[in-house]
Amino acid sequence: MSILISAIVFIAIFSLLIFVHEFGHFITAKRSGIKVEEFGFGLPPRAWGKKKGETIYSINWIPFGGFVRMLGEDSDEGMLKKKRSFVAQPLRVRMKVVVAGVVMNFLLAWVLLIIGFSIGMKPFLMGTDDVLPAIKSGLVEVTEGVEIESVELSSLGATLGLQAGDVIYEVDDVSVSAFNFDTLLTEAGHDFALYREGKSFTYEVGDAVEIVEGTNILGVSFVLPHSLPRVKIFDLDRISPGYRAGLRAGDVILSVNGVELFYESDFAELAKGQSLLVYEIYRDNAVETVLVENKESKRIVISGVFPDSPADLAGLEEGDVVISVNAKTFSGREAFVEFISNNQDSKMAYLIERGGERQFYEMATNESGLIGVVLSELINFGTAEGMSLYQHSLLSSLDVQDEQYPFFTAVFKSLDEIWRLSKLTAAGFGDFVVGVFTRGEVADEVGGPVAIAQITHIVVQEGAMPLLQLVALLSLTLAVINILPFPALDGGKLLFLIIEMLSGKRVNQKMEGMIHMLGYVLILFLILLLTYNDIVRLFS
C-alpha cells in the first residue's frame, strides 16, 4: 500500500510542477492577447476535452504535467500575418511568454520555502561543502560513528536489545569508517560493537537469520551518516609537547580550542599564536580532551639585517631567532619593538638562536633608536613540533536541526536559498552534460525519474515537511534547467529571441525549428540514459 501511495504522490508532484509551469505560459499568453488553442492537463492522447471560448481545456491519458498549444507557436512564416499568433507578437511579449513557466516554478519554490522556514524545516545540505559550515554554526550536531535513530517494535534489533542513541563503531572488528555498515541491514553473519552511555556492547547477527530481499534485517534506522574529512596524527616524537600532554599517533583531531578541524591545512591557522591548545580527539571510539601548553607560541625571527647597522656590526644574521633581551621574552614583534624603544642608548644582551645553538650578543640602538633589522614572527605550533598529520575520513552521524525564522526573515532566507541552490543545480547539470558527451559516464549523484521516484517513496514516509522540501527542490530544478540556453528548452527559445533582439531581424523559423528538434532528441536521449542508469543502480 505504501508503494502505491508513493506512486500516486510521485505522479501528483510531477503533474503539479509541469502544470504550474505550463499555467505560467497559458495565463501570460491569454493576458497578452495570444490565441491559446488548447490547455491540457496530462499529455495526449486526450481522454476528455471541453471547449470554452476559443480554448479547449483537456484531460489527457498520460498523467504527467500539461501543455499549452498557442496559435503559431511552431509554425512557418505564414503565421506572421495572423495578429493573434505567437510569432506575430512583439519581441518583448514573446520573451515574457517564454519565461513565464520558469517564473512560475521559481515562485512555487519560493512560496514553499517561505512556508518551510516559517514553520521550521531542516536546511538543504547538498554535500560536504554545505555540511562543514553547518557544523561550525551549530546547525548540525556530530556524533562520531553510526548512531541508531529508532528501533522498530518486535524487530530483530529490538530482540537483540538495540536502543535509539546506540552508536555503532565497529563491524566485524573493522571501523565503520572502513566498512559498509549498510550490510548490517541486508546481510546476516556479522557481529558489531557499539557504545551506549559510555559502555561497550557486542552483538551478532547470526547466519540463521531469515533474509527477505529489500527488507531491513535489524529493523533500525540511522541518524544521517556522512563521511567527514578529519585530521589524524601520523607520528609523534616522545619529547614533543603534544606527546607529553597526552596526544598519541592515531588520534583523530576533531577540534582545536573549540573550533572544528576538518583539513590539515587549517591546523596552522587554529594553532597560530595560541599559548594553550585544547584538543578534542577521537581515540578508541571515544572522544577525549587533551590540553597542551604552548609557551613559545610566537618567536621573533630576523628576516633582514641592514648593512653597517648595530645588528650587522654585532654579527646578527638573517634567520636568527630572538629568544630574549636582557632575559626578557616577548609574545610578538610589537612587544619587542616597544621594549627596544623604551631602552634606547642602553647596551643590552640579546640571546639569539642560530642553527639550534644559542649565543649572546651585545649592542645598543643607533641614533634613531633602532638596531637595524627587519622582524618577522616565527610561529611555533607547539604540538606540531615533532608531530606529523595527514588527512583522514571519519564516518559520523549528523543530527540536523530545524531552521525557523519570522515570516519576513523567511522571505529573504528563501531567496538566498533559491539563489544558492540554483547555482548548484546549473553547475551540476553542466557537469552532467559534459560528463556524458566527453567521458561517456553519468556521475553517481545524478538521478533520473526512477531515482526521483525512489526518493519520493522515502520522503513520503518521513512526513509533510520533507515532502514540501522535495517539491520545492524539484520545482527549482525544473526552473533552472528550463532556463538554460539549451535547444528545445525555454532557455533555448529565449536565446533565439535574444539573437533576434541583437541582430534586429527574426531568426529563420525553419532553421530554429530544426535546432529545437535536435534539442528534443538530445533531451530524450539524456532522459533515457538517466533512466537506464537508475535501473542499473537499482538492481545492482
- pLDDT tens across 209-220, in order? 666 655 677 888
pLDDT at 113: 96
CATH number of the domain encompassing residue 317: 2.30.42.10
* Residue 270 is assigned to a structural domain of this protein: no
- Domain boundary among the residues 226, 260, 286 is at 226
| Cα–Cα distances in angstroms (integers) from residue 449 to residues 10, 21, 62, 247, 376, in the given order | 10, 18, 15, 50, 60
* pLDDT < 70 positions in the chain: 1, 63-65, 74-78, 80, 178-180, 207-215, 273, 294-298, 378-385, 540
* Residue 87 is assigned to a structural domain of this protein: yes
* Residue 461 is assigned to a structural domain of this protein: yes
CB of 189 within 8 A of CB of 207?
yes
pLDDT at 1: 53
- Whole domain around residue 92: which residue ranges? 2-122+408-539
Helix or strand holding residue 379 (H, E): strand 373-379
Rounded (10°) angle between helices 91-119 and 407-434: 120
pLDDT at 19: 87
- Domain boundary among the residues 326, 358, 379 is at 379
Q: What angle do CA 271, 329, 258 make, to 5 degrees?
A: 20
User: What string of H, E and C letters represents the secondary structure of 469-516?
Assistant: HHHHHHHHHHHHHHHCCCCCCHHHHHHHHHHHHHHCCCCCHHHHHHHH
Q: 372: left (phi > 0), else alpha (psi -120 to 50), else beta?
A: left
Q: Are residues 446 and 499 in the same domain?
A: yes
C-beta atoms surrounding 168 within 10 Å = 25
Q: Are residues 414 and 500 in the same domain?
A: yes
* Residue 394 is assigned to a structural domain of this protein: no
How many structural domains comprise the chain? 3
Q: Are residues 419 and 512 in the same domain?
A: yes
pLDDT at 298: 61
Q: Are residues 103 and 146 in the same domain?
A: no
Q: How far apart are CA 512 and CA 75, in angstroms?
A: 11
Segment 125-177, tens digit of pLDDT: 888 888 899 898 889 999 888 899 999 888 888 888 889 999 988 888 888 77
**Phi then psi dihedrals of residue 481, to 5 deg:** -65, -40
Q: Are residues 113 and 150 in the same domain?
A: no
Neighbour-count burial of 103, counting CB atoms closer than 10 A to its CB (0-12 exposed, 13-18 middle, 19+ buried) = middle
* Residue 459 is assigned to a structural domain of this protein: yes
Q: How far apart are CA 100 and CA 341, in angstroms?
A: 71
* Residue 321 is assigned to a structural domain of this protein: yes
pLDDT at 385: 62
Q: Are residues 414 and 535 in the same domain?
A: yes
Q: Are residues 413 and 528 in the same domain?
A: yes
Q: How far apart are CA 397 and CA 142, in angstroms?
A: 6
Q: Are residues 28 and 117 in the same domain?
A: yes
Q: Are residues 32 and 104 in the same domain?
A: yes
Strand-pairing partners, residue 39, are: 57, 68
| pTM for this model (two decimals) | 0.74
Rounded (10°) angle between helices 91-119 and 464-483: 160
Q: Are residues 99 and 191 in the same domain?
A: no
Q: Are residues 310 and 422 in the same domain?
A: no
Q: Go through the chain and tell me how many residues it has.
A: 540
- Domain boundary among the residues 226, 258, 287 is at 226
List Cβ neighbours of 295 (8 Å cut-off, separation of 6 or more).
275, 382
pLDDT at 75: 58
pLDDT at 438: 81
pLDDT at 184: 75
* Residue 402 is assigned to a structural domain of this protein: no
* Residue 514 is assigned to a structural domain of this protein: yes
Q: Are residues 215 and 307 in the same domain?
A: no
List Cβ neighbours of 56 (8 Å cut-off, separation of 6 or more).
37, 38, 39, 40, 49, 50
